[in-house]
Chains A and B, each alone.
Chain A
């Protein structure tokens, strides 16, 4: 069988990856296949132990899979000899959770490391450092040591170092997991800005759905060494299929109404029913006055419990918690009508 990989579109193609660790007898990767398109930011999200760390480390063969194929920029990584692999690795930048900077090298010397390794002369290294420092906002920190920097600044050095040898691909291994929320947003904005400016392809792993929501174009959800769901970030967020995905999505979208609030809501009148639902407004009908239409057409009382507008990957969507009151048949027809408009209606309570 011949894989047809179009390098103009596919930056990273992983297929049928398997990896078992004898230690602890765990299956880290269980038949994982994935395609990352050139120029996109692809996120892999999962809990710790889901195998996402192992997966991203197979891309530059820090981890060798037991079986499968790894194609990066059209190159079959597993077919490379040592020298070929080193050359290929220079075309793949990597950023780490704990930065992994050399403590005894200054910022400039850290960034110079991949260039030194590649045998670039000192003058060319200096020129490249001067070019890249402003790109990551570290102009004044050229001669500082890592111990003198904040976490966010350290990660900026990590990113500058990863991009020093002008790779086309950037791997981010939990790049913001050791940072506070504000710094996380700064670093994510930096990564997205660099992707736009330098035409990078970014593959990142994270356990925070907020990271995916902030910068990813597409996302894959991992569990027990398998990819259980993947797609455009907007689709996965608004139409999660797997329970684990729903759980992750709930982290950032906000899912249910607190029990204490539910207890305070008025009960249905005799003969009527009550349905508390979450409605996600996305798609062409998301701007219609759906609530008042449902109320009028189906003769329902609607209690608005909460509501807000959010944005994923530049696309707006709304989330509301609503209480519907009325005769059972009317309520069900009303909810089904809303579903028929393409809104995502999930029952929270009766």
Chain B
């Protein structure tokens, strides 16, 4: 274990923290913006509560375009926007901006699918009982979709861990970046193995937490 010097320990801890920060902040933004987008996509869809093709089609197109762009390209392509939001185009803070954008588009679609899974009969019953559209969304749609929404968030978090490994390209740091710089470029396979192990445990932890939450809210 000669490679695990105090300096390396600090580097690993710092990288872990950067990964948590990028994944956590990216996911928080993605949930906050992705859910409204998903609701908008759902209610304006052709089978939705208020079909609005002129809004639904362009919105779906933007989401798809964002999702189609490879993350590494998205990251560089939106540098001016990143500078506007984060004040800089390099570092962990700057990396959060493209991560949040990619995750938002990804999550919006996953959330939309979770909303579609809600039994239309329950929504129809709410209509028959004189519920307003807002009541249907807040009291029926979102609560009924909650297990699916949580499962989707878990999937997005795990994907974000993967995306965050590319953040090194704009100096975002993180475990993936550490693995590339030390494990690959400096020929330290022990560092690479450690990074991969930590990432596996990290992802496992996220998945277990997500599964546990889904079970808790399922009432089945």
CA distance A161 to B127 in the complex (A): 13
Q: Which stretch of B23-31, B128-136, B168-176 is in the interface?
A: B128-136
> In the bound complex, do residue A62 and residue B127 qualify as a contact, i.e. CB atoms below 8 Å apart?
yes
> In the bound complex, do residue B219 and residue A90 qualify as a contact, i.e. CB atoms below 8 Å apart?
no
Contacts of A114 in B (CB 8 A): 129-130
> In the bound complex, do residue A104 and residue B219 qualify as a contact, i.e. CB atoms below 8 Å apart?
yes
With contact pairs A104-B143, A104-B146 given, residues A113 and B130 touching in the complex (Cβ less than 8 Å): no
Given A88-B130, A113-B139, 8 more contacts at CB 8 Å?
A89-B130, A102-B144, A103-B219, A113-B129, A116-B139, A117-B132, A145-B219, A161-B125
What band does the interface of chain B fall in when counting residues whose beta carbon is under 8 Å from A?
20 to 34
Chain A 109-127, CB-CB to B under 8 Å as 1, else 0, gives 0000110111000000000
Contact of B126 with A by CB under 8 A: yes
Contacts of A296 in B (CB 8 A): none
A108-149 CB contacts (< 8 Å) to partner B: 113-114, 116-118, 145, 147
Of the candidates A62, A86, A88, A101, which one forms a contact with B122 in the assembled complex, judged by CB atoms under 8 Å apart? A101
Interface residue ranges, A against B (CB under 8 Å)? 60, 62, 85-90, 92, 94, 96, 98-105, 113-114, 116-118, 145, 147, 161, 165
Contact of B211 with A by CB under 8 A: no
CA distance A100 to B144 in the complex (A): 12
> In the bound complex, do residue A62 and residue B139 qualify as a contact, i.e. CB atoms below 8 Å apart?
no
With contact pairs A116-B139, A145-B219, A147-B219 given, residues A102 and B122 touching in the complex (Cβ less than 8 Å): yes
CA distance A92 to B219 in the complex (A): 29
Of the candidates B132, B140, B218, which one forms a contact with A102 in the assembled complex, judged by CB atoms under 8 Å apart? B140
> In the bound complex, do residue B130 and residue A117 qualify as a contact, i.e. CB atoms below 8 Å apart?
yes
Contacts of B144 in A (CB 8 A): 102-104
> In the bound complex, do residue A86 and residue B128 qualify as a contact, i.e. CB atoms below 8 Å apart?
no
Give the shortest distance, in Å, between A331 (CB) and chain B (any CB). Answer: 56
> In the bound complex, do residue A102 and residue B124 qualify as a contact, i.e. CB atoms below 8 Å apart?
no
CA distance A116 to B128 in the complex (A): 14
With contact pairs A102-B143, A104-B144, A117-B139 given, residues A96 and B125 touching in the complex (Cβ less than 8 Å): yes
